[in-house]
Amino acid sequence: MGKKILTETNLVLPRNVDNGLNCANCHLKAGTVAGAAPWLGIWGVFPEYRARSGKLISLQERINDCFERSMNGKPLDFASPEMNNILAYMRWLSTGVPTGTSIAGRGFISINQKLKPDSESGASIYEEKCASCHGKKGEGSKTEKTYTFPPLWGPDSFNDGAGMARTYTAAAFVKHNMPLGQGETLTDQEAIDVAEYFTHQIRPVYSKKSLDWPNGDKPKDARY
């Protein structure tokens, strides 16, 4: 059930998801792809310090971070069956990975952050490489019940507090995973340019931004 929740999130948990996304839109193939924020081994690395939170956080807190930011929704109760099912799936994926081990390919693979983004170039790249799936206005491609390809901006996309709303974070994901099935075909500069373009479009606003990076180490590409 945990895998189903993570791959069909907006259908299974409509009270907790306030956009059109599923967790697996970023955590590709149900969290099993290196360089696409895999959940393999994630069970054994939490609690973990998060600069954005300014403290050690639990895996449950990290999951709820995504619900409130990437899903633009509401957190799960720690004791809920849904949270326990998600944790059970992540624990199963981590079978055989020693506690405390950060596996290769965790998170997103790094990208050259010294490169300056060019939104105008990004708009052209988006039209050529991305619009056929994600829509000319970032609206995504939708069936009757859900999105085949997720919206990249607008009311059904992630909010401005999500990690994917940051230029270099989004660029790292794009560089290694997009266009879908054609990862590594864009240069670092192209990935940064297109990420700058779509991350800075209109999207939902995260209401708790004032609590982020309490220790003053906010990254340069934060949207606030």
pLDDT band at 136 (very low <50, low <70, confident <90, very high): very high
Q: Rounded CA gap, 188 and 185, in Å?
A: 10
Q: Rounded CA gap, 146 and 162, in Å?
A: 21
pLDDT band at 223 (very low <50, low <70, confident <90, very high): confident
pTM: 0.95
Tokens standing for 59?
């895996």
Looking at residue 103, its pLDDT comes to 86
In the structure, how many helices (H) and strands (E) does the chain have?
A: 9, 4
Q: What percent of the chain has pLDDT over 90?
A: 95
Looking at residue 104, its pLDDT comes to 86
Please, what is the angle between helix 188-199 and helix 167-177, to 10°? 130
Instruction: Give yes or no for residue 145 having a pLDDT over 90.
Output: no
**CA neighbor of 105 nearest in space, from 38, 155, 56:** 38
Query: How many Cβ atoms sit within 10 Å of the Cβ of residue 142?
Result: 15
Walk me through the domains of the chain, giving residue ranges and CATH numbers.
2-93 (1.10.760.10), 119-209 (1.10.760.10)
Q: What is the pLDDT of residues 166-206, one digit of tens each?
A: 999 999 999 999 999 999 999 999 999 999 999 999 999 99
Q: What is the pLDDT of residues 40-84, one digit of tens each?
A: 999 999 999 999 999 999 999 999 999 999 999 999 999 999 999
Q: Rounded CA gap, 37 and 42, in Å?
A: 10
